[in-house]
Amino acid sequence: MKLPLKLALAAMVLAPIPALAHHSYAMFDMNKTVALKGSVVQFKWQNPHSWIELDVPVAGATERWAIEGTAPANLVQEGWKRTSLKPGDNVTIKVHPLRDGSKGGSLAGAQLADGTRLGQF
For the structural domain made of 25-119, what CATH number should be given?
2.40.50.140
Res 57 pLDDT > 60: yes
Sorted by where each begins, the domain ranges of the chain are: 25-119
pTM of the model: 0.78
Would you say residue 14 has pLDDT above 70? no
Q: Is 71's pLDDT higher than 90?
A: yes
Over range 56-76, report the average pLDDT: 96
DSSP secondary structure string, the chain? --HHHHHHHHHHHHTHHHHHHHT--TTB-TT--EEEEEEEEEEE--SS--EEEEEEEETTEEEEEEEE---HHHHHHTT--TTS--TT-EEEEEEEEBTT--SEEEEEEEE-TTS-EEE--
